[in-house]
Chains A and B, each alone.
Chain A
Amino acid sequence: MKRRHAIGLGAAGIAGAGAGFAASRLLPEPSAQAADPAAEAIEFYGEHQAGIVTPAQDRLHFAAFDVITSDRDELIDPHTAAPPPPPRRGGAHFAGPGGASGGDYYAPPDDTGEAQGLPPSGLTLTFGVGPGLFTDADGADRFGLAAKRPEALADLPGFPLDDLDPAISGGDLCIQACANDPQIAVHAVRNLARIGFGTVAIRWSQLGFGRTSSTSLAQATPRNLMGFKDGTANLKAEDEDLLAEHLWAPEGDGAAWMTGGSYMVTRRIRMMIETWDRTSLAEQEAIIGRDKAEGAPLSGGGEFDEPDFDAVHDGAPAIAVNAHIKLAHPTSHGGARMLRRGYSFVDGSDELGRLDAGLFFIAYQRDPATGFVPVQQALAQNDVLNEYIKHTSSAVFACPPGVADADDWWGRALFE
Chain B
Amino acid sequence: MRHHRIAALAAAAATLAAVAACTEEPAEESADGPIEVVASDDACEVAVSEAQAGTVTFQVKNEGAKVTEFYVYAEGNRVMGEVENITPGLTRELIVELPADEYETACKPGMTGDGIRSAFTVTGEAANLTEDEALQSAVDSYKEYVHNQSTALVEQTGLFTDAVIAGDIETAKALFPVARTYWERIEPVAEIFGDLDPKVDAREDDYPAGPTDPAFTGFHKLEYDLWITGDVSASAPIAEQLMTDVQEVVARAEAEELSPLQLANGAKELLDEIATSKITGEEDRYSHTDLWDFAANLEGSEAAIASMRPVLEERDPELVAALDERFAAAWAALEVHRVDDGWKLHNELSEDELQALSNAINALGEEVSKVAAVVAE
User: Which residue numbers of A lie inside 8 Å of B, CB to CB?
Assistant: 3-4, 6-7, 10-11, 68, 104-108, 167, 194, 197-199, 201
Contacts and interface: CB of A to CB of B under 8 A. Distances in A.
A198 B369 contact: no
A231 B68 CA distance: 70
B316 A197 contact: no
Interface in B124-169: none
B355 to A, nearest CB: 7
Interface string B298-337: 0000000000000000001011001000100100000000
Contact of A107 (B355, B358, B365, B369): B369
Nearest to A200: B359
Contact of A197 (B261, B355, B366, B372): B366
A75 to B, nearest CB: 14
B interface secondary structure, majority: helix
Nearest to B321: A7
Contacts of B359: 68, 197-198, 201
A205 to B, nearest CB: 14
Contacts of B319: 3, 7
Interface residues of B, number: 25
B373 interface: yes
A409 B356 CA distance: 28
Interface in B337-377: 351, 355-356, 358-360, 362-367, 369-370, 372-374, 376
B363 to A, nearest CB: 3
A3 B366 contact: no
Given A10-B322, A106-B376, A198 B370 contact: no
A328 B322 CA distance: 52
B316 A106 contact: no
Contact of B362 (A6, A107, A108, A198): A198
Contact of A198 (B318, B329, B372): B329
B363 A107 contact: no
A68 B88 CA distance: 43
Given A3-B319, A4-B316, A10-B367, 9 more contacts: A3-B316, A7-B319, A7-B367, A11-B322, A68-B356, A105-B376, A106-B372, A197-B359, A198-B364
Contact of B326 (A104, A105, A198): A198
A11 B376 CA distance: 24
A195 B316 CA distance: 19
A106 B326 contact: no
Contacts of B373: 3, 104-107
B367 A107 contact: no
Contacts of B370: 3, 6-7, 107-108
Nearest to B261: A106
Nearest to A104: B373
Interface in B253-273: 261
Contacts of A10: 322, 366-367
Contacts of A3: 316, 318-319, 370, 373-374
Top 9 nearest A-B pairs by Cβ distance? A198-B363, A107-B373, A106-B376, A104-B373, A106-B373, A201-B359, A197-B363, A197-B362, A106-B372
25 contacts: A3-B316, A3-B318, A3-B370, A4-B316, A4-B318, A6-B370, A7-B370, A11-B322, A68-B356, A104-B373, A105-B373, A105-B376, A107-B369, A107-B372, A194-B366, A197-B359, A197-B362, A197-B363, A197-B365, A198-B329, A198-B360, A198-B366, A198-B367, A201-B355, A201-B362
A199 B366 CA distance: 12
A318 to B, nearest CB: 50
Contacts of A6: 370
B200 to A, nearest CB: 29
Contacts of B316: 3-4
A21 to B, nearest CB: 15
Nearest to B264: A106
Contacts of A4: 316, 318
A105 B358 CA distance: 27
A198 B360 CA distance: 6
A197 B330 CA distance: 12
A108 B264 CA distance: 12
A39 B226 CA distance: 60
A3 B358 CA distance: 23
Contacts of A107: 369-370, 372-373
Contacts of A68: 356, 359
Contacts of B329: 198
Contacts of A7: 318-319, 322, 367, 370
A152 to B, nearest CB: 29
Contacts of A194: 366
A10 B362 CA distance: 12
A167 B319 CA distance: 34
A12 B366 CA distance: 14
Contacts of B356: 68
A108 B322 contact: no
B369 A108 contact: yes
A3 B369 CA distance: 10
A279 B68 CA distance: 72
Nearest to B268: A108
Interface string B239-263: 0000000000000000000000100
A108 to B, nearest CB: 5
Nearest to A2: B373
Residue of A10, A104, A194, A198 with most partner-chain B CB within 10 A: A198
Contacts of B372: 106-107
B327 to A, nearest CB: 12
